[in-house]
Chains A and B, each alone.
Chain A
């Protein structure tokens, strides 16, 4: 049985600060889309496989950012049931993770799901650009504004794990239908 798979021991960690996306020509900060170009030297080994597992290991946003979920278009094995309803008709978004927002609303503070698991999306290895999309729970974009407002502060640290092709192949084969007769 495949364990909760952390196969490569040495993973790559790329930290993305929200404010650094502000200058990227493809970013649309007021619509919750942040882009970062990633230099080649961000990846410790250059000769690993062509795909890897992408997840968020660490992230923070300003407390004035309400409930927020982070999506990417790079996940082969993640999908939203109703992507076409997202603004700007963005296709193929997959959820990477989300935030709890603690706020006093009468006597309510937060509703917290108790047994989170890591979301690890299969993605092309060593991407030269990362685009993240920030939406609230109603699927409205999170507007990041430049100029030092609380909600353009924050960071996301992405982890890239590399997969042993042989073990992956065995694992996938095991999931196939067996011959009944």
Chain B
């Protein structure tokens, strides 16, 4: 049995379209897109779904590894219990994915790339009317994307997967402790 929907929704967000929406803060890597209701093929699916990035592209001029985060994930978090105060970011942010930049460091080094990535699927309210994504560098600094016009090219395609609530219930219940006696 497939655990999630065969027909998913795919919403493509162009970076420059998210730069001027109310709430966007490109100097801190925050982009906001309002999503029309027509973006979702079925209107009567469940109230929650799994959100992941199906495709994404940023210009090479970004120049370093990046992390894409969202505030909309229930089951993801950044653990920063012992972080220095200056290093803390909003506690409701969760990583959706990352980019590895292939650029010479000047020392002949180009990239260090993890070999076996998997897709991160965050539980999120279904059919969101607004999507916010925030880009960070690898030292948790919000990426300033306000100054270089090239930084506002690119896209992110979000995939929404829906699941059968009964199947989900079965799976979740089955993970619970069983009585020993």
Contacts and interface: CB of A to CB of B under 8 A. Distances in A.
A157 B82 contact: no
Interface in B88-131: 94-95, 97-98, 100-105, 107-123
A8 B102 CA distance: 34
B116 A116 contact: yes
B95 A58 contact: yes
B65 A24 contact: no
Given A24-B82, A47-B177, A58-B97, A101 B87 contact: no
B82 A56 contact: no
Contacts of B140: 17, 19-20
B67 A60 contact: yes
B75 interface: yes
A23 to B, nearest CB: 4
Given A15-B94, A68-B112, A164 B79 contact: no
Nearest to A22: B84
Interface in A112-146: 112-113, 116-119, 130
B177 to A, nearest CB: 7
Chain A: interface residue count, which band? 35 or more
B83 interface: yes
Given A8-B175, A109-B110, A62 B77 contact: no
Contact of A65 (B87, B112, B171): B112
A71 interface: no
Chain B: interface residue count, which band? 35 or more
Name which of B82, B95, B112, B163 has the most chain A CB atoms within 10 A of its CB.
B112
Contacts of A16: 78-79
A19 B111 CA distance: 19
B74 interface: yes
B75 A12 contact: yes
Nearest to B163: A9
Contacts, number: 209
A47 B79 contact: no
Interface in B121-152: 121-123, 137-140
A20 B88 CA distance: 9
B109 A63 contact: yes
Contacts of B175: 8, 45, 47-49, 162-165
Contacts of B110: 63, 102-104, 109
Contacts of B167: 9
A11 B79 contact: no
A44 interface: yes
A163 B98 CA distance: 27
Name which of B74, B94, B122, B175 has the most chain A CB atoms within 10 A of its CB.
B175
Contact of B77 (A15, A97, A148, A167): A15
5 contacts: A9-B4, A10-B75, A37-B81, A38-B79, A104-B104
Given A101-B111, A153-B139, 4 more contacts: A9-B50, A49-B175, A63-B103, A102-B111
Interface of B: 3-4, 50, 65, 67, 73-84, 87, 94-95, 97-98, 100-105, 107-123, 137-140, 163, 167-168, 171-172, 174-178
